[in-house]
Amino acid sequence: MQVTAGMVKELRERTGAGMMDCKKALQEAGGDIEAAIEAMRKSGVAKAAKKAGRIAAEGNIVIRQNQRTGDTVILEVNSETDFVAKDNNFKSFGDEVASCILANHPASVEVLMEMPIRRNTRRTVEETRQQLVAKIGENISIRRFTLVQNNGSKLGTYLHGTRIGVIVSMHGGNDALAKDIAMHIAASKPICVAEKDLSPELIRKEKEILIAQAQDTGKPPEIIEKMIGGRLNKFLKEITLLGQPFVKDPDLTVGKLLGDAEAKVNHFIRYEVGEGLEKRTDNFAEEVMAQARGA
């Protein structure tokens, strides 16, 4: 039987799945909509589609390194609740996705989702995700990843539990220093390595705020100018890695620590679970009561 646009539309409305998933299911079912729905439910596609709009702002940060090449990946995999983030199936999925990235070097999340999750299977990362959604019962998403290829620099990594992860690329120093710098970045959240890396727009906006605050003091212009200069310098030190006090020894800046070790940080990546995402605010007790009333 020929699969028509109307059949695809009906299947989309009934399952909430994507157009290509619906078309594929109909083709495999010979145009039988009920059979296609049953197959989609078994594979988890329909259930995953229905949960796709739900907020997934919890989850885990995963860091994995290819021991042969030195390439390192940092990955954020999200779930709706921190309870699911602790589930072994969820953790195993994150580990498999990280291994897939290291093996295939995808250019984006979209490309990654269409890749086989392992070399010995045809099942893609997306199909594996859908099956996990059906099994666990929560929306699960791969939000982002960064693959840092080994170019001769020293790579330091640090994971704070499963919620904050850092990769730092460094010239000079040793492994212990690289890990210490990664740990510092996890704790202190610098925006960039040095002041020269900051955007002029960020500095301009901060200066405008400082001017407005200083003018409210009623002090003379020459005093205001000195106040602004001092406060701006303090702000720049607080948000740049080299200007921050080292977490293990606040009397020493990170810049001084690196200088003494004849080391230089090239760049870093810091991921924190759910940063920038809207968090779920559902009351769990109310949700259970709502489900009970519905039943």
pLDDT, position 152: 83
Query: 3-state secondary structure string, 253-290?
Result: EHHHHHHHCCCEEEEEEEEECCCCCCCCCCCHHHHHHH
> Considering the domain 58-150, what is its CATH architecture?
2-Layer Sandwich (3.30)
Q: In the structure encoding, which two tokens stand for residue 163, read together?
A: 């919620």
Q: What is the pLDDT of residue 18?
A: 66
CATH code 1.10.8.10 region(s) in the chain = 5-51
Does residue 294 register a pLDDT over 70? no
CATH superfamily for 5-51 is Ubiquitin-associated (UBA) domain (1.10.8.10)
pLDDT at 153 over 60: yes
Question: Per the structure block, which two tokens stand in for 261?
Answer: 């070790």
- Judged by average pLDDT, the poorest of 25-34, 66-75, 104-113 is 25-34
* Contacting residues for 146 by C-beta, under 8 A, at least 6 apart: 73, 74, 167, 269, 271
pLDDT digits (tens, 9 = 90+) for 249-286: 999 999 999 999 999 999 999 999 988 776 655 444 55
Please give the pLDDT value at position 107.
96
Structure tokens given for 78: 């999200």
Q: Which two tokens stand for residue 265?
A: 């940080």
pLDDT mean over 189-216: 90
The pLDDT of residue 295: 43
> With contact defined as beta carbons under 8 Å apart, do 37 and 46 qualify?
yes
* 212 membership: H or E segment, kind and range: helix 200-215
CB proximity list for 59: less than 8 A, separation 6 or greater: 76, 77, 78, 79, 85, 90, 143, 273, 274
DSSP 8-class letter at 62: E
- Predicted confidence (pLDDT) per residue in 233-247, tens digit: 999 999 999 999 999
Measure the CA–CA gap between 228 and 220, rounded to whole angstroms. 12
Paired with 148 in beta bridges are 72
List, as one string, the DSSP characters of 137-185.
Answer: -S--EEEEEEEE--SSSEEEEEEETTTEEEEEEEESS-HHHHHHHHHHH
pLDDT at 41: 66
- CATH 3.30.479.20 positions along the chain are 58-150
164, β-bridge pairs? 160, 272
Q: Is 70 left (phi over 0), alpha (psi -120 to 50) or beta?
A: left
Confidence band for 39, pLDDT divided at 50, 70 and 90: confident
